[in-house]
Structure 1
Amino acid sequence: MKEEKKHEAGLRTVQRAIDILYCFTLEEQELSLTEIAKKISLAKSTTTRLLATLEQNRLIVKDPETLKYRLGQGLYYLGYIAGKSMEVREIARPVMERLRDETRETVNLYVLEQDARVCIEQCEGLQALRHMVRIGERLPLWAGAGGKVLLAYQSPEVQERIFAQVPTKERLDRLTAELEAIRERGVASSVDEREVGSAAVAAPIFDIRGEVGACLSVSGPAHRFTREVMEQFERLVKEGAQAISEKLGYRP
């Protein structure tokens, strides 16, 4: 019984230390002892002991002038290791396989590369007639669901460069109107756009900074992408992209 209580106390201490780390946000990067103690509902004396331990392990740093605390270099180092080990391709693969099984269509993972998109991972469709993109192939941002969903979340400067590539004014007008709708709905679609006879839906993947540098896409022959099917695929691809985003550390 005594050992069990000791174990529970140890777990509480670990949890409280974790709670302290999660007190810090982008909006509140520095906090005083009083602010931290209030956030985690602990006495200042207990909070001080926990902060001292975190400080010894370089997870917390105390400013000697302001006496405020901030996250330390140890966390930056651990975050760097975590980032290196969490490649988007590895994170996305299980989600892509599940999405491929649900839709039976080809699922692609695109990343932004300068002013184009590149397919870096693919799960081939399960049907005899399927749409394929070559791994490493560079494709435009102004055509196709994957390109448009990436373009929709880029800066105005990037968008202006891409707009200059659009071949006709009519197509440019249609594209600019569509980008706003894509941002509102969080999903893009295309039929007979980049390739005649093909259709696709795509959703953005957000990183920990809330930026979009990748997207998830489901594509196949246009005749199978009826309105009802596309609505279903849009829901599924948004859920898949959201799951990947969360694993990358994104919090809306």
Structure 2
Amino acid sequence: MSAKTKPHEKAESGLRTVQRALDILYCFTLEQQELSLTEIANKIQLAKSTTTRLLSTLEQNNFIVKDPDTLKYRLGQGLYYLGYIAGKSIEIKELAKPVMQRLRDESRETVNLYVLENDSRVCIEQCEGLQSVRHLVKIGEKLPLWAGAGGKVLLAYQPADFQNRIFEQVPSRERLEALQQELPQIKSERCASSIDEREVGSAAVAAPIFHINHEVKACLSISGPTNRFTPETIDRLKQLVKRGAMAISEKLGYQEKR
């Protein structure tokens, strides 16, 4: 047999090298933004000599930067540039659509995707419910943040000064006090519900969609006629919408803090 390396063995070796390089990049987290050679080698369970060669190649391509004083490594400008391009190319509607369709099929109710736009929320995507009587929102229609499950869940995750500005829009003191009491609970449960709030005869549940930076600028909601939203149904739909919103969040690069 020939002593030369066979083509398929070369291919496997190349794939292994690529995977190891990716493993190095994934060593870095928000909590550990700088790592030493020893820390990286231990994390990926490779010899320091092999790890050094991989780090050198990543450094040459600006994916890794080595601090000359501490000798620690961090992610480089090349990854920031690629991440910026990826962020620009990600369209939340495209990511959300299959999740929304699955959620619509499971709930048989209308599923909406809302985004924050100035002091309002706007529906940018919708999957109509499968029932003969269903609740619909116009695509592009601006709706308040102080009423309705979708509005409240978006409001719950905004800064205090933003919330105070929205509070001024609430038409009555009674509704304002109820809203102020509800927002911390919404944030704690990561879910909101509403019955006959924005529109008599309609009900909804909603959950926040988290971006990679943990901001909430979008949410997912399930809505329908009030008579179908019994307490038991609301509990079930809350679980569905939370699961769906988290699936979209993860597609956007969100990761839970540990």
Tell me the TM-score normalized by structure 2.
0.93
Count of residues in Structure 1 that have an aligned counterpart in Structure 2: 252
Q: Paired residue for 1:116, among 115, 120, 131?
A: 120
Cα-Cα RMSD: 1.5
Q: Paired residue for 1:175, among 172, 179, 189?
A: 179
Q: C-alpha distance in 2, partners of 1:212/1:27?
A: 21
Q: Which residue of structure 2 lines up, in the alignment, with residue 237 of structure 1?
A: 241
**Which one-letter code corresponds to 1:212 in the other structure?**
V
Segments of structure 1 that go 5 or more residues without pairing to the other structure are: none
Q: Which residue of structure 1 lines up, in the alignment, with residue 156 of structure 2?
A: 152
Instruction: Please report how far the alpha carbon of residue 110 of structure 1 lies from its aligned counterpart in structure 2 after TM superposition.
Output: 0.3
Q: Which residue of structure 1 lines up, in the alignment, with residue 50 of structure 2?
A: 46
Work out whether 1:14 is the aligned partner of 2:24: no
**Which one-letter code corresponds to 2:142 in the other structure?**
R
Work out whether 1:215 is the aligned partner of 2:219: yes
Q: Paired residue for 1:29, among 21, 30, 33?
A: 33
Q: C-alpha distance in 2, partners of 1:158/1:167?
A: 17
**Which one-letter code corresponds to 1:193 in the other structure?**
E
Q: C-alpha distance in 2, partners of 1:153/1:16?
A: 38
Work out whether 1:196 is the aligned partner of 2:200: yes
Q: Secondary structure at the match of 2:21?
A: helix
Alpha-carbon deviations, 1:141-196, whole Å to 9, x = none? Answer: 11000000011111111111111111111111111111111112111000000000
Work out whether 1:104 is the aligned partner of 2:108: yes
Work out whether 1:66 is the aligned partner of 2:70: yes
Q: C-alpha distance in 2, partners of 1:64/1:103?
A: 57
Q: Which moved more, 1:138-147 or 1:50-59?
A: 50-59
Work out whether 1:56 is the aligned partner of 2:60: yes
Tell me the TM-score normalized by structure 1.
0.95
Q: Secondary structure at the match of 1:194?
A: coil
**Which one-letter code corresponds to 1:22 in the other structure?**
Y
Q: C-alpha distance in 2, partners of 1:41/1:100?
A: 44
Instruction: Please report how far the alpha carbon of residue 86 of structure 1 lies from its aligned counterpart in structure 2 after TM superposition.
Output: 1.6
Q: Which residue of structure 1 lines up, in the alignment, with residue 95 of structure 2?
A: 91
Q: Secondary structure at the match of 2:163?
A: helix
Q: Secondary structure at the match of 1:182?
A: helix
Q: C-alpha distance in 2, partners of 1:148/1:237?
A: 15
Segments of structure 2 that go 5 or more residues without pairing to the other structure are: none
Q: Secondary structure at the match of 1:238?
A: helix
Alignment of 1:125-164 (within 5 A): 125-164=129-168
